[in-house]
A and B are shown apart, each in its own frame.
Chain A
Amino acid sequence: MSTVTSIPPRTRRNVELALLLLAICIVLVAYVNVGLATSGGSLPPDLLTYGVGLLVITGAFHLVLRWRASYADPLLLPIVTLLNGLGLVMIHRLDIAHSRDISEGLATRQLMWSALSVILAALVIVFLRDHRHLARYTFSMMAAGLVLLLLPLLPLIGSQVNGSNIWIQIGPLSFQPGEVAKILLTIFFAGYLVQTRDALALVGRRVLGLPLPRARDLGPILIAWLASLGVLVFERDLGSSLLFFGLFVSMLYVATERRSWIAIGLILFGGGAYLAYLMFGHVQERVLLWLHPFSDAALKVSDQLVLGLEGMGAGGLFGSGLGRGHPDLTYFAESDFIFPSFAEELGLIGAMALLLLYALLVERGLRTAIGARDGFGKLLATGLSFSVALQCFVVVGGVTRVIPLTGLTMPFLSQGGSSLLANWTIVALLLRISDQARRPAPQAADPGGLGRDDTRVVKTR
């Protein structure tokens, strides 16, 4: 007779706190570096203010986690704090390069948005006690998500930035609604797929060895396909299109465990993208810039990608050091091209470190999905994590010529309020799901009764 000794799972909140302090230290060292390089050798006078400010904001969030989600994954908060903080430092550094005053600089606004985002994330943790509540709003989420996605196409408020129609502009406020739509649609996909996964997974027939679903079950994937093609063609944005479609296909695959969805998805997307290439001049332009960025024909259109590549090349292995390179020579150096900015000043080593931070973030998210006890939670965590991975791939792949360049922001690093709000919300949701995944299951039975080993008939894991 064996006795089962159960080790109570540990909350790991102290690990989180230690890593959080480390992350803040790294950010402050980066800030000091910029100060030393740009002011001719003196420490930035506001170092203490920023340090304490950063500590207060993220420390408060840490306390909220202790209070309301004590079993949440301990790595997520330090990673995104580090990314967000480094992004702030780089934006501040570019403010200096462009001689923008600190009061009207982009860094100050980004700092404000960061604080707002953390507050929003804390509110999500406080008020969303159980992520499964979200499943009740599946179809409202879809409606809201589609509306947001198509909002930039409206004549008055839609605005074109950098060739893509993925912005809306209301008065002085500009906003990328796709960032929020990403979350809403992920919630919708998770809710919808949890309900229909059995039908999608089990019914169908085999064609050429691939188990194909029924024609009527193909409906949702066709709608998603058309919507993503619409984004590609009408909003001129390959990145968003790839993001939404890839998100949907991957979640469909996880829900149904049928590889045929991936095959169908790849064929549909590849075919659609090729058709769009044949039909639309702006798509051909993007492809030309991607394949032959140094050709005269491409340089006539844009030298943006080339400037970014030259920046990365100038960074080399070790980089110029923060504040010592010329990332300001690249357009959108603080948003779409913030990765080349880091690659230039921190070198290949720094760029790799950033990529590994993202990889770690996504891996923790997928780990949460595996640990989650409910299907909705699994799908939601998978979708949210994979969306971060896809977005990194689209952005970094775009600036390093893996795929055509598109106008998406790098999560947490890039300047932009909508992006920060959305990504901190994603982290809040992941934290919420991971809290439930790691929390010990409530003891349902009394120790003297059914719970006794010798009376157990069903083996639980």
Chain B
Amino acid sequence: MNAPIRRLAFVVAAMFCVLLLSTTWIQFVQAKDLADRPGNRRTLLASYSKERGAILVDGKPVAQSLPTKDQLKWIRAYPQGKEYSHVTGYYSFTYGAGGGLESAENELLSGQSDKLFYRRIVDVITGKPPQGATLELTIDAKVQQAAEEALGDQRGAVVALDPTTGAILAMVSKPQYDPNALASHNLTKVSEAWKSLNADKGRPMINRAIAGDLYPPGSTFKLVTAAAALSSGKYSPSSVVPGPRELDLPDTSATLPNFGHEICGPNGRTTLRHALEMSCNSSFGWLGLQLGPDALRSQADKFGFGQTLHVPMRVTPSVVPDELNKPQTAQAAVGQYDVRVTPLQVAMVTAGIANGGTVMSPYLVKDVRSSDLDVIDTAHPQQLSEAVRPGVADQLTSMMEDVVNSGTGRNAQIPGVQVAGKTGTAEHGEGLAAHVWFTGFAPAKNPKIAVAVVVEDGGTLRSEATGSTVSAPIAKKVMEAGLGR
């Protein structure tokens, strides 16, 4: 019987080999996937067992971990409450990291990132408790606060960029939420807060500045149409274009009327410069028809439409629809029909013009620092695209100056500083108050700050609102803060 017993011993060896392999598979090969599974309580507990990196604005924390006496050892705190909710996001024991940098830079904040590998080894050798990396943001606290206060309780968003680098100086989206409510260790309260935030019709957890349902850009899109026209070489700011009270749209009985049904110039003709100043729909609708949908779309793409950016939060791509017939092209040229944008994208258009036609990639994290504040990684400004030639950018700047000096954007004037800008009043449905826009930059020469402001449904003025009355004053305050005034 010894021979079969020996063979059986081989079977036993094979069985144990299978177990060794399956154990290795789980603990070595699959370990990371298992740890990354949403809802893995062990990963969450492990992340609480060490100090998570802080998020700093001008050296002061807007998110930090404070020691507690309870089982989790650390609690996440957001000293500024709601103001930075869409920048930081939240860090919750129950719901994980989400909503902003907490989620987008989780690996750095938790100390798991490969960038910190060397640092971790040093920590192990020197016996220091492991810590996550600290993020220093590009946000300017003064600009952020100005945007926060100027927007007030109105739904909408404000984005401010440094046009020369792409650094995001302010990012506000309203309504907001208090991330402290989700970071609490009182799990019942956290779950109540979570439920009420998700049930809220104002959808406070959505960062309208970069995501959500996107907005129709309205007349701010005329900057793109104008850029396409000037870049084509067939037009200059002084080119004469039609400007009737309403533009007859081809292939349909519909028309494209001007705001207030006004006429843009004597005999229904005007210059391109004046058409932008007065925000003439009929002129830009006509221009759109002359240029065609492909020229509009390709100009928009050069400003960054259609690209998925990470700032490092994912930015929903702005879109010009793929198929446009003639009436739709005319409507798209004035920012209606199915053109959809994020406020960040509108700010990028303006910043591109301000920066001589070069669009810089927007970014939010200036430095990554170790726990003892040594800089591990620094952001380097990167060029995203050449949207227009410098000459065209200069022409557009000069036209936008006129908008602020004598056109629809007069409410954005800052004494002693030349501001360039463009208003927008975007209709988005019968009987609904328009979303109102302003985008601009200052100073017009050597710009320091470019902003985009959108206020949903006319804000407090409801249907009386225009980009000029509601959004331009907000943009003005934000730009003033950016210029140190």
Q: Which residues of A approach B to under 8 Å, CB–CB?
A: 250, 253-255, 257, 294, 306, 309-317, 325-326, 329, 343-344, 347-348, 351-352, 355-356, 358-359, 362-363, 366, 369-370, 375, 378-379, 382, 385-386, 389-390, 392-393, 396-397, 400-402
Chain B residue numbers with a CB within 8 Å of A352 are: 20, 23-24
Chain B residue numbers with a CB within 8 Å of A306 are: 37
B42 within 8 A of A: yes
The smallest beta-carbon distance between A317 and chain B, in angstroms, is 6
Chain B residue numbers with a CB within 8 Å of A401 are: 22, 26
Tell me if B's interface is mostly helix, strand, loop or mixed. helix
Q: A310-B37, A311-B42, A359-B16 are in contact. Are A370 and B6 (CB under 8 A)?
A: yes
B1 within 8 A of A: yes
Chain B residue numbers with a CB within 8 Å of A386 are: 8, 12
Chain A residue numbers with a CB within 8 Å of B19 are: 355, 392-393, 396-397, 400, 402
Considering the complex, give the chain B residue whose CB is closest to the CB of A261. B4
CB < 8 Å neighbour of B26 from A309, A329, A363? A309
B42 close to A310 (CB less than 8 A): yes
A402 close to B18 (CB less than 8 A): yes
Q: Find the residue from A255, A309, A344, A347 having the highest chain B CB count within 10 A.
A: A309
The smallest beta-carbon distance between A164 and chain B, in angstroms, is 21
A310 close to B40 (CB less than 8 A): yes
A389 close to B15 (CB less than 8 A): yes
B46 within 8 A of A: yes
Chain A residue numbers with a CB within 8 Å of B45 are: 326
Can you give 11 A-B contacts (C-beta < 8 A)? A250-B11, A309-B26, A310-B34, A312-B34, A326-B45, A343-B27, A366-B9, A378-B1, A389-B12, A389-B15, A393-B19
CA distance A392 to B28 in the complex (A): 21
B255 within 8 A of A: no
Q: Which residues of B approach A to under 8 Å, CB–CB?
A: 1-6, 8-9, 11-13, 15-16, 18-20, 22-28, 30-35, 37, 40-43, 45-46
Q: A257-B3, A343-B23, A402-B18 are in contact. Are A326 and B42 (CB under 8 A)?
A: yes
B5 close to A382 (CB less than 8 A): yes
The smallest beta-carbon distance between A330 and chain B, in angstroms, is 10
CB < 8 Å neighbour of B41 from A316, A329, A400? A329
CA distance A381 to B24 in the complex (A): 31
Considering the complex, give the chain A residue whose CB is closest to the CB of B37. A310
The smallest beta-carbon distance between B156 and chain A, in angstroms, is 37
CA distance A313 to B40 in the complex (A): 10
A-B interface contact total, Cβ < 8 Å = 131
CA distance A311 to B23 in the complex (A): 12
Chain A residue numbers with a CB within 8 Å of B4 are: 253-254, 257
B27 close to A253 (CB less than 8 A): no
Considering the complex, give the chain A residue whose CB is closest to the CB of B12. A389
Considering the complex, give the chain A residue whose CB is closest to the CB of B36. A313
CA distance A385 to B27 in the complex (A): 28
CA distance A351 to B23 in the complex (A): 8
CB < 8 Å neighbour of B46 from A253, A254, A314, A351? A314
The smallest beta-carbon distance between A437 and chain B, in angstroms, is 12
Chain A residue numbers with a CB within 8 Å of B25 are: 400
B23 close to A366 (CB less than 8 A): no
The smallest beta-carbon distance between B35 and chain A, in angstroms, is 6
B27 close to A358 (CB less than 8 A): no
Chain B residue numbers with a CB within 8 Å of A359 are: 12-13, 16
Q: A366-B12, A389-B12 are in contact. Are A312 and B26 (CB under 8 A)?
A: yes
CA distance A306 to B34 in the complex (A): 9
Chain B residue numbers with a CB within 8 Å of A329 are: 41-42
Considering the complex, give the chain A residue whose CB is closest to the CB of B45. A326
Q: Nearest 10 A-B pairs (CB), nearest first? A: A313-B34, A400-B22, A348-B27, A314-B42, A313-B31, A359-B16, A254-B4, A389-B12, A393-B15, A366-B9
Considering the complex, give the chain B residue whose CB is closest to the CB of A294. B37
CA distance A382 to B32 in the complex (A): 40
A369 close to B5 (CB less than 8 A): yes
Considering the complex, give the chain B residue whose CB is closest to the CB of A359. B16
Chain A residue numbers with a CB within 8 Å of B42 are: 310-311, 314, 325-326, 329, 344
CA distance A397 to B46 in the complex (A): 27
Chain B residue numbers with a CB within 8 Å of A375 are: 1
A363 close to B34 (CB less than 8 A): no
The smallest beta-carbon distance between B33 and chain A, in angstroms, is 8
CA distance A48 to B2 in the complex (A): 46
CA distance A366 to B5 in the complex (A): 7
CA distance A312 to B13 in the complex (A): 23
A378 close to B5 (CB less than 8 A): yes
Chain B residue numbers with a CB within 8 Å of A255 are: 1
CA distance A402 to B13 in the complex (A): 16
Considering the complex, give the chain A residue whose CB is closest to the CB of B4. A254
CA distance A287 to B415 in the complex (A): 75
CA distance A408 to B422 in the complex (A): 73
B1 close to A314 (CB less than 8 A): no
Considering the complex, give the chain A residue whose CB is closest to the CB of B9. A366
Chain B residue numbers with a CB within 8 Å of A351 are: 23, 27
Chain A residue numbers with a CB within 8 Å of B32 are: 313
B5 close to A370 (CB less than 8 A): yes
Q: Find the residue from B5, B24, B27 having the highest chain A CB count within 10 A.
A: B27
The smallest beta-carbon distance between A246 and chain B, in angstroms, is 10
The smallest beta-carbon distance between A397 and chain B, in angstroms, is 6
CA distance A379 to B9 in the complex (A): 13
CB < 8 Å neighbour of B23 from A253, A254, A348? A348
CB < 8 Å neighbour of A382 from B8, B22, B34? B8
Chain B residue numbers with a CB within 8 Å of A382 are: 1, 5, 8
CA distance A385 to B34 in the complex (A): 34
Chain A residue numbers with a CB within 8 Å of B37 are: 294, 306, 310
Q: A257-B3, A310-B42 are in contact. Are A358 and B23 (CB under 8 A)?
A: no
Chain A residue numbers with a CB within 8 Å of B33 are: 313
Q: Find the residue from B9, B26, B32 having the highest chain A CB count within 10 A.
A: B26
CA distance A379 to B4 in the complex (A): 11
A397 close to B26 (CB less than 8 A): no
CB < 8 Å neighbour of B5 from A254, A294, A311? A254
The smallest beta-carbon distance between B350 and chain A, in angstroms, is 45
B8 close to A250 (CB less than 8 A): yes
Given contact pairs A359-B16, A378-B1, A393-B18, a sample of 8 additional A-B residue pairs in the complex whose CB atoms are under 8 Å apart: A294-B37, A309-B34, A313-B35, A326-B45, A351-B23, A352-B23, A393-B16, A400-B26
CA distance A366 to B9 in the complex (A): 7
CA distance A177 to B399 in the complex (A): 91
Chain A residue numbers with a CB within 8 Å of B30 are: 309, 313
Chain A residue numbers with a CB within 8 Å of B27 are: 312-313, 315-317, 343, 347-348, 351
CA distance A392 to B24 in the complex (A): 16
Considering the complex, give the chain A residue whose CB is closest to the CB of B30. A313
CA distance A327 to B483 in the complex (A): 56
Considering the complex, give the chain B residue whose CB is closest to the CB of A351. B23
CA distance A397 to B5 in the complex (A): 23
The smallest beta-carbon distance between B100 and chain A, in angstroms, is 26
CB < 8 Å neighbour of B34 from A314, A326, A362? A314
CA distance A326 to B41 in the complex (A): 9
CA distance A237 to B411 in the complex (A): 78
The smallest beta-carbon distance between A447 and chain B, in angstroms, is 30
Considering the complex, give the chain A residue whose CB is closest to the CB of B42. A314
The smallest beta-carbon distance between A186 and chain B, in angstroms, is 14
Chain A residue numbers with a CB within 8 Å of B35 are: 310, 313-314
CA distance A329 to B22 in the complex (A): 22
Chain B residue numbers with a CB within 8 Å of A356 are: 16
A254 close to B40 (CB less than 8 A): no
Chain B residue numbers with a CB within 8 Å of A348 are: 23-24, 27-28
Chain B residue numbers with a CB within 8 Å of A390 are: 15
The smallest beta-carbon distance between A213 and chain B, in angstroms, is 16
CA distance A363 to B5 in the complex (A): 11
CB < 8 Å neighbour of B1 from A257, A343, A363? A257
The smallest beta-carbon distance between B254 and chain A, in angstroms, is 48
CA distance A370 to B5 in the complex (A): 7
CA distance A396 to B26 in the complex (A): 12
Chain B residue numbers with a CB within 8 Å of A314 are: 31, 34-35, 40, 42-43, 46
